[in-house]
Amino acid sequence: MAKADTKLFNKASQVVIVRDGDKTVMTMANDFKGAPKEFAIVIPVPTFIEREQIHIADKALIDHLDAYSAPRLVEYFDENPCAPRVLYEAMPAPPASDVGESRKGSLGVTVEARYTVGEYDIVILSAEQSGGLETWLKENGYRIPDGAGDILGSYIKQKMRFFIARVNLKEHSKLGFSYLRPIQVAYESPKFMLPIRLGTINADGYQELFIYVLNRKGRVETTNYRTVKLPTGMDLPLYIKDEFADFYRTMFDEQVKKENMEAVFLEYAWDMNWCDPCAADPLSREELRNVGVFWLNGIKPEDTWTGGASDVFITRLHVRYDARHFPEDLVFQETGNRENFQGRYGLRHPWTGNDSCEAATQYKKQLPKRWEQEAQTLAGLMGWDINAIRKKMNIAKEPKTDGRKWWEEIWKE
Amino acid sequence: MFVVAKISIGLRLKSIESSLKSWLYDPRVYQIAVLTSLLVYGIFWLDFEIRSTQAITILITILLTQYLCTRVFKLPEYDPRSPLISGLSLCLLLRTNSLLLVGLTAFITILSKFTLRFRGKHIFNPTNFGIVLMILLTDKVWVSPGQWGNIAFFGFLIACLGGLVVNRASRSDVTYAFLGFYISLLLGRASWLGDPLHIPLHQIQSGAFLVFTFFMISDPKTTPDSRAGRVLFAFLVAAGAFVVPFVLFRTNGLLWALAFFSLSVPLIDRFLPGNRYKWSTANDYLGANQQVVNIG
């Protein structure tokens, strides 16, 4: 099975939100590529954050979540039509994102707390006005983009605090990680939202964001933007196997275009206990706890295995946004919808045996029609030239009708 | 012979004309047409999570419940128009995966009209009550306000169609007052926060908001009787609808606010009394007297 992961997309962020009631654990992963001393993030948070509410997570956790929920390619092998039986094998799609939350921010007024956690120096600020906040940030060596002032001011009036993290170079080299690990914050607030507005002022085009929500109730959707399902469930030409990453990226581009870049896309929604087919194994209880699933504490493993449920539902949302199309922060709601959904694409390998029987003849006759169908599906999905696809598939320009007229089939004995 | 035939045809034409008129002048017929088009648009173009089995279950349950209640509460005749409006609104707003809950919500919606009454008026807009009660009682029912998308064209279209409906229903004052108060609150918030105008505009460019404004709060059967009362009512609902998402940070502000402040309507009617609403029908236009029973 092939999977398409988040690394395919540039400037992508990944955020995991674990939520039950008002209790929230947010994990932010960043694939920041510059020098560590250049790294800084400014995140509006709804409450004051104590030292114990911050934790540094293992990057592998997010990679695992990504792999588990990524769009997947499933290969089917047609059985010998003379002796039918089915086998199939699934391949996960590669994961698709990096965190583009990295930006130079600058804030302004009361330093409520300073912590060093892992490789990060963290400051919690509250401010009275955006001007002071901007000044504070600038004086402390943060570069803030033009236009940030108004947005910071809006967050200040909404009583948001600011969570600012920078890399502590000494700790960073002592710990010896070659990358920056995800930061986790636990807090309690009725606000079920994700502040994206600061991310839209980095004027260089759009931002890519993957959101994994782990909750108990069911699917999560945005209330102020359309949540649209990724097209799924179709059979594709076999050659896509080698181009699956490209397929996923191009298809996503097409869907974004189709929705005028005004929608959030649902890529996966599943009960965390299982998957079918699995792009990667579900997260273990240990991993779930590390990613912040706090309601698993105190539940003995045997309870979940006998009950069959670890009571975690995952929703993976994918959004490409800029200030014009996404003026407001994302606001979410939980729904009671526990229906499973996945991005899943089939590859059907034809049977290549030599047995001869009536069924085999029939089987071989319908193959070109099937290939043509696959070519058309792909062309429709990607906006590609159908003839180029046919050429790649090595099939005829127009499907052959084997010369017979349609009516010759009707009363055939 | 000739003369007799002429008269009988004339009579028949007249009766057809009068029944046609009775439908044409009834604002509910327009509402049904508009809601049906919205539903079709939603299902086929916006890919709403509405299954046709759910829509059919809602409509059948609604019509059957209305029929049963007509018999039990001894109404003079069965009229499917008002329940159809409630049913179509339910189809547009209610989301659940359980067909049983779909049917139950539809049943409660109509039943509330007959049972939750005060001085001859039903207290809640039936659709509003059905949805809010089921959200309170189960965690399997929800409303998807974002699913409408913000296509300007779509918003414009419903606004026009909705405007038509409201004018016909002659209680446009509550809708205009609500729009005025609610938009002012959103604009006021944006200007206080220093947010660009784009944000409040985005907040009202939602089909769900328009359906609420033009089809639910305007329900002439549950709004206060006097104009002053209706303006006050519109203000209360607008304030509530603003407080829920921006102060309490919860969803479905419009629905909660309408349900909550519907409870204040008897009080408003007491201090600001006015004439009770009745649906206009052809008889009004033909100059005949009619007695309207206040159910429906």
Residues 6+ apart with CB under 8 A from B276: B120, B121, B225, B294
**Which range is most confident: A112-121, A147-156, B128-137?**
B128-137
pLDDT range class, residue B288, cuts 50, 70, 90: very low
Interface test with B, best of A224, A232, A326 (most B CBs within 10 A): A224
Question: A207 vs chain B: nearest CA distance in angstroms?
Answer: 19
Tell me how far the alpha carbon of residue A361 is from its chain's centroid. Answer: 44
Containing B131, the helix (H) or strand (E) segment is helix B126-137
Bridge-partner residues for A321, per DSSP?
A: A207
Q: How far apart are CA A364 and CA A360, in angstroms?
A: 6
B166, burial (CB in 10 Å: exposed 0-12, middle 13-18, buried 19+): buried
**Which range is most confident: A1-10, B142-151, B222-231?**
B222-231
Q: How far apart are CA A300 and CA A244, in angstroms?
A: 40
Chain A hits for B195, CB-CB cut-off 8 Å, are: 150, 154
Contact B233, B274 (CB under 8 A): no
- Cβ contacts below 8 Å, chain A against chain B, sum to 80
Residue B274 has pLDDT above 60, yes or no: yes
Task: For A271-299, give the DSSP string.
Answer: ETT--SS-SSPPPPHHHHHHHT-GGGTT-
Interface test with B, best of A159, A194, A226 (most B CBs within 10 A): A226
Chain B hits for A327, CB-CB cut-off 8 Å, are: 196, 198-199, 202
Q: Is A373 in CB contact (< 8 Å) with chain B?
A: no
For A235-385, strand residue ranges (E) read: 235-236, 263-271, 313-321, 330-334, 341-342, 344-349
* pLDDT tens digits along B78-123: 888 889 989 998 998 899 989 999 999 999 999 998 888 887 788 8
For chain B, strand residue ranges (E) read: 94-95, 117-118, 121-122, 142-143
- In this complex, do B150 and A150 lie within 8 Å of one another by their Cβ atoms? no
**For A282, left (φ over 0), alpha (ψ -120 to 50), or beta?**
beta
Q: Is B97 helix (H, G, I), strand (E, B) or coil?
A: coil
| Torsion angle in degrees (nearest 10) through CA of A26, A27, A30, A31 | -140
**The complex's ipTM?**
0.82
Residue A81 has pLDDT above 60, yes or no: yes
DSSP state at residue A88: E
Q: How far apart are CA A162 and CA A125, in angstroms?
A: 5
- In this complex, do A337 and B198 lie within 8 Å of one another by their Cβ atoms? no
What number of other Cβ atoms are within 10 A of residue A113's Cβ? Answer: 15
Task: Give me the residue label for tokens 């998957």.
Answer: A275
Position with higher pLDDT, B166 vs A230? A230
Q: How far apart are CA B40 and CA B19, in angstroms?
A: 27
- In this complex, do A150 and B195 lie within 8 Å of one another by their Cβ atoms? yes
- The average confidence (pLDDT) of chain B is 80
Identify the closest residue of chain A to B138 by CA–CA distance.
A336
When mean pLDDT is compared across A23-32, A311-320, B125-134, B178-187, the lowest value belongs to A23-32
Question: B151 vs chain A: nearest CA distance in angstroms?
Answer: 9
Q: What mean pLDDT comes out for the span A163-169?
A: 87
Q: What mean pLDDT comes out for the span B58-64?
A: 94
- In this complex, do B97 and A228 lie within 8 Å of one another by their Cβ atoms? no
Chain A hits for B138, CB-CB cut-off 8 Å, are: 336
**Which range is most confident: A107-116, A186-195, B74-83?**
A186-195
Sign (positive or negative) of CA dihedral A347, A352, A355, A361: positive
Question: pLDDT at position A127, please?
Answer: 84
The length of chain B in residues reads 296
* pLDDT tens digits along B204-251: 877 778 778 887 888 878 889 889 999 999 999 999 999 999 999 999
Residue B44 has pLDDT above 90, yes or no: no
Q: How far apart are CA B233 and CA B221, in angstroms?
A: 13
Tell me how far the alpha carbon of residue A403 is from its chain's centroid. Answer: 48
* Strand order across the A193-194 sheet: A193-194, A330-334, A220-222
Q: How far apart are CA A215 and CA A217, in angstroms?
A: 6
DSSP state at residue A242: G
- In this complex, do A327 and B196 lie within 8 Å of one another by their Cβ atoms? yes
Tell me how far the alpha carbon of residue A289 is from its chain's centroid. Answer: 20
Residue A277 preceded by cis peptide, ω within 30: yes
Q: Report strand pairing: A54-56 vs A183-188.
A: antiparallel
Q: How far apart are CA B249 and CA B123, in angstroms?
A: 27
Residue A99 has pLDDT above 50, yes or no: no
Identify the closest residue of chain B to A193 by CA–CA distance.
B249
pLDDT range class, residue A397, cuts 50, 70, 90: low
- In this complex, do B250 and A190 lie within 8 Å of one another by their Cβ atoms? yes
Q: Is A258 in CB contact (< 8 Å) with chain B?
A: no
Interface of B with A in 55-84 (CB under 8 A): none
Q: Is B286 in CB contact (< 8 Å) with chain A?
A: no
* pLDDT tens digits along B26-38: 777 877 887 888 7
Containing B272, the helix (H) or strand (E) segment is none
Question: pLDDT at position A191, please?
Answer: 93
Residue A216 has pLDDT above 90, yes or no: yes
pLDDT range class, residue A401, cuts 50, 70, 90: low
Domain boundary assignment for chain A: 2-99+188-349, 353-413
Bridge-partner residues for A14, per DSSP?
A: A29, A210
Q: What mean pLDDT comes out for the span A31-48?
A: 81
Q: What is the CA radius of gyration of chain A?
A: 25
pLDDT range class, residue B8, cuts 50, 70, 90: low
Q: Is A224 helix (H, G, I), strand (E, B) or coil?
A: coil
Q: Is B44 in CB contact (< 8 Å) with chain A?
A: no
Identify the closest residue of chain B to A157 by CA–CA distance.
B193
Q: What mean pLDDT comes out for the span A10-23?
A: 88
Q: How far apart are CA B121 and CA A383, in angstroms?
A: 57
Question: pLDDT at position A193, please?
Answer: 93
Measure CB to CB from residue B251 to each of A157, A328, A333 and give the nearest one. A333
pLDDT range class, residue A25, cuts 50, 70, 90: very high
CA atoms within 13 A on the CB side of B186: 19
Q: How far apart are CA A1 and CA A3, in angstroms?
A: 7
- The average confidence (pLDDT) of chain A is 82
Question: pLDDT at position B163, please?
Answer: 65
Percentage of chain B modeled with pLDDT above 70: 75
Contact B148, B46 (CB under 8 A): yes
Question: pLDDT at position B22, please?
Answer: 63
Position with higher pLDDT, A85 vs B51? B51
* pLDDT tens digits along A232-279: 988 888 888 888 888 899 999 999 998 889 899 999 999 988 888 888
* pLDDT tens digits along B165-209: 656 556 678 888 999 999 999 999 999 999 999 899 888 877 778
For A65-206, strand residue ranges (E) read: 72-77, 87-92, 110-117, 120-126, 161-167, 183-188, 193-194
DSSP state at residue A236: E
